[in-house]
Structure formats: C-alpha cells, structure tokens
Structure 1
C-alpha cells in the first residue's frame, strides 16, 4: 500500500475505462499510431490506454508532448533512467529463476526479446509521465525554449527486431494465472495488472517462479529506496528537457476535463513505474550482464537531415 493523505490507498485509476488498440478510433487511433512511431514501440502501454479514456485530454496531451518525445534529449534521459535502474537492481538479490532452464531455444529467445521490449520502453514512459506531471503542476523544463536548430531528433519507427507487445488477458481464464495476477496486484498495490506481467504470463512457469523470488525483494526497504530514487531522477531529467510543455490544469478545464482526476492518475503512474522498471531489470539480469543491460537494447539513430521544426 502507498500512504496518501494519511490513508493507505491502492494504485488504482478510478473507474476510467481503458481504451485498447482495437477499440481506438478517431483521435485516439491517430495518437496511438504516432505514439508507436515516435516512441519506437510495438504496442500501447497501460499509461496511454488509461489516459485515452479522457477523450479530449489525450490528444491535447500527446500533441503537447510529442515535440519532446522525438528528441535526442528525451531518449538520453530515458537511457539514464534505465542505467540507474540496472545499477540499483544489481545491488539487490538476483532472482536466479531456475525455470528458464526448462524453456526451449525458441521460447527463451522470445522471452529475452519481450524483456528487451519493456527494458526499452518503460524508462521512456517514466520520463514522459514525469514531464506531464511537471506541466500539470505548473513547472516547466529549466531549458525550455531552447532554439529548435540546436535540438537533435531521433529516427521514427518501430525497430525491426522488437518483440510485438503480445500478452494474455487481464482477466485470464486459467486459474493459476488469475491467482498469480491477484497476488502481484495485491503485493504491488495495483488495481490493474501491467502489460509487462501479462506478457511474461505467456510463459506462466517462468513468471510464477520469478515472482516467488521477486515478491520478498519488492517488500524490502532497499527496493523501496531504489524506486524512490529512480522517481526523483526521472523528475530531474524531465526538468532538463529542451522545450516547454504547453499543457496546464487550466487548459484541461477549458477542454471540459476533470483536471484533478487526470493529475491524480498521472501521479499514480509516476509512482508505479519506477518499481516496474527495476523489476524488469531484475528479470533481465538472469539473462544478461549489468554492463550489457545499462545500454539501450534499441539505440536510436539521428533522424537524417532533421532538427526540431525543419530540415538542415
């Protein structure tokens, strides 16, 4: 549980309906396409599926954030978050998930690819969320307003070898997966199971064995301190991004949205993501060395002959 206003609360997201990729249409469909191209990812994570339930806020938020999300500065900030998470995970107990030995060569390859997917996108989601929260709190990047000619853009498009964001249902029929999800949600104070665990549940024996090792780790003080530190790092990095974010509570109210509810939802995501990033790093350390994991699994090349706002 997380202490909030003197009460223990679940990291829930109210009654807001999530919008899946299959349900998206109109503006949400347009934004989902741009998210995958700009953030270079094969699917839409829980953050965006939840934000999309606020029909007017979602496209306004994305249009305000997209100029930042396609910069080298944003990519580098996410790289820094990823590296810190790996270093923090490396100081914790290793999972040493023995069930991985039972995986066939093809299954092991796919599982490693799935971990690479989340190892790449989750740090970007945290920096993105922190930047949105800063804007809603009335704070802007310290370097906001930097000349566009000085800002490098990265390539668009999903990396060719990135794993598709496939996952089991959030309400699985198989009883043992259902019980596993309930235990994860209760332990981590979640109301919705994250995409990451739903993907790892494609290999249920692996996730079950890994969670048994992970559960006591996430309940420890060292893990909680590492998560708090990672959140603060993301906030500081978001504060150094090159452009201001034209988004505010006043703008949300003009759109007819509930600014307080959206701000609360955004804050909850910012609380959730650091521990998730460290958890994925712990799973990944069973497969790769820390020296490898601190590097981006999908390095982004510069966008050819392009800077923010035009071509050189």
Structure 2
C-alpha cells in the first residue's frame, strides 16, 4: 500500500466525491482528513463499504456526549496542574492582521472538531478489523441511539490551508514539535503544516505550551481522553462488520490486510499525542468547542 498516494477533494468524482461530502457533513468539519484521502486512493471499495459500517456511530447523541467529554477530559487535566490556566495568545501578541488571526482561529477550530471523531474512528476501525470486542457494554438510555444534536459543532470551523514549506524562522521550533510527537524525517501532521502559515503565532505558542505538553498534566490528559474514547467504543450501539468474513462477503476482502495494518498504525504511535493536542491549540486562541451538552 502506497501511503503517499492520496485522492484529494478536487480530484474526487462520482461516488468518491459524494463520500467526501458525506464525511464532511457527518464529521461537521470542512476537511477530509489524510486517512480518508489515502484509504480512498488505495482501497476505494473497502473505504466505501467501511464508511457505511462506521458512519451511524457518529450520528448518535452518545457520540456527541463523547466528543465534548473528550475535549473536557484533555483540557481539564491540563488546567488542573499547578501552572494554572492554559496560555492564550491574543492578536497583538502574534503580530497577525485581524483577517489572519480570524483565519487562524477558524482553521484551528476545524482540527478541534475532528479530534474526537478521528480518535473514535481509529479505535473502532482497529478493533472491528481485528474482530476485537466493541459494543459489549451498551447503555440502556435514550442518548445511546438518539440523533446527534443539530447545533453541536455545526459550521464552527473553516477549511484549513497548509504551508508548502517550513518558514526559516521556525525551523527549530518545528523540529522540536516533531521530536515531541515522535515523527521521523520531514513528516509533519496537518495541524502543524497549517500552523506554519503563522510563524508569529506558532513560535510563542509552542514556547508556552511545550512545558505543558512535557508535564504530568498532558500525561493525565492522554489517559483521560483515551478512557473517554474506549468507554464510548465499549458501549457502541452499532457493531461495524469489518472482520475477514464480512469483508469477503462484501467483495473487498483483498483489502483486509492493508486496512488492518493502516488503522492499527494510526491507533497508536505519534497520533496518540497529536489528537489530544488539537483542543489545546484551539484553546490558545479561544476557538475550542463546547465541553458539555
């Protein structure tokens, strides 16, 4: 599987374009993340089938409660440290124009929206593809299968744009970010390629956040965020059929091994620290979402 091969939104046609539209609508964010672009480019039939299996989970009130609980778990753990509130960077601190600062806030809000959705997606896909237990502790309450609240996260972010290269003045900062998350070579997650557009923000923000990310508060945030995700998946009201037998029956069994490897690699490693960091970055500019329903 060539993970450098991606199908971008502008190149998507037919059902692929429709699937991307559906992902954006269901995730309530104007972005089709790398995992979808790569899976669609390499494993199109599997991706179409798998999305139909997992989509209903994201349309429940139970997931809405999970999404706000995930954000609150991460931010509360950091706020509980002796260091106190998370740092915030107002526009004058960054040297950005009003329009630039507005774009920064809107784009970071988009990543804040997708953080819990990707965390749940990776956990569900990994378990289902390996036929590991999920949906074994389903709650008997209305939220379990009730619809996702219409207002939550709707139209909150704007479509992210990415820097083509790392600006010279923040090369050292970006190297530190890579080292913290454990990325090798020139790899850099989308959130940071996005933030590289605004060196006046990224450099002081990293200087303020690095001690928090390296501290015990973020360790607690990782544990609490993971616990929220696992609790939701344990209580998932629907069980995606993604085991070898189900994939064979759907005619996409040949993609199974590649899919299992892809999603297991994303349900661990550097992503474990990248996703919980997303609401933290949003909080620095006041664009984090709701923390309770």
Q: TM-score range by the shorter chain?
A: 0.7 to 0.9
Distance in 2 between residues matched to 1:154 and 1:222, nearest whole Å: 30
Pick closer, same or farther for the CA change 1:19–1:178 going to 2, 3 Å: farther
Q: Which residue of 1 aligns with 2:227?
A: 232
Matched, 1:141 2:135: yes
Q: Which residue of 1 aligns with 2:263?
A: 266
Structure 2 unpaired stretches of 5+: none
- Residue among 57, 69, 78 paired with 1:68: 57
Pick closer, same or farther for the CA change 1:145–1:132 going to 2, 3 Å: farther
> CA shift at 1:258, angstroms?
4.5
Distance in 2 between residues matched to 1:268 and 1:174, nearest whole Å: 29
Q: Which residue of 1 aligns with 2:68?
A: 79
Mapping of residues 89-238 of structure 1, within 5 Å: 89-92=78-81, 93=83, 94-97=86-89, 101=93, 102-138=95-131, 139-142=133-136, 151-154=145-148, 161-169=155-163, 171-172=164-165, 174-176=167-169, 180-190=173-183, 192-220=187-215, 222-238=217-233
- Residue among 13, 17, 29 paired with 1:29: 17
More displaced stretch, 140-149 vs 67-76: 140-149
> CA shift at 1:99, angstroms?
7.3
Pick closer, same or farther for the CA change 1:96–1:34 going to 2, 3 Å: closer
Distance in 1 between residues matched to 2:205 and 2:143, nearest whole Å: 47
Distance in 1 between residues matched to 2:176 and 2:246, nearest whole Å: 39
> CA shift at 1:84, angstroms?
0.6
Pick closer, same or farther for the CA change 1:26–1:145 going to 2, 3 Å: farther
Q: Deviations over 1:240-283 (max 9, x none)?
A: 12111122244446514453442232233233445234323333
Q: Which residue of 2 aligns with 1:242?
A: 237
Pick closer, same or farther for the CA change 1:51–1:158 going to 2, 3 Å: farther
**1:36, 1:42 within 8 Å by CA — same for their partners in 2?**
yes
Q: Which residue of 1 aligns with 2:280?
A: 282
- Match of 2:147, SS state, is strand
Pick closer, same or farther for the CA change 1:214–1:265 going to 2, 3 Å: farther
> CA shift at 1:221, angstroms?
5.1
| TM-score, normalised relative to structure 1 | 0.74
Number of corresponding residues: 282
- Match of 1:30, SS state, is helix
Distance in 1 between residues matched to 2:192 and 2:44, nearest whole Å: 27
Pick closer, same or farther for the CA change 1:147–1:248 going to 2, 3 Å: farther
Distance in 1 between residues matched to 2:235 and 2:203, nearest whole Å: 39
| TM-score, normalised relative to structure 2 | 0.79
CA-based RMSD: 3.6
Distance in 1 between residues matched to 2:29 and 2:113, nearest whole Å: 9
Structure 1 unpaired stretches of 5+: 1-12, 300-312
Distance in 2 between residues matched to 1:258 and 1:218, nearest whole Å: 37
- Match of 1:73, SS state, is helix
**1:131, 1:238 within 8 Å by CA — same for their partners in 2?**
yes
Give the structure with the larger helix fraction: 2
Give the structure with the larger strand fraction: 1
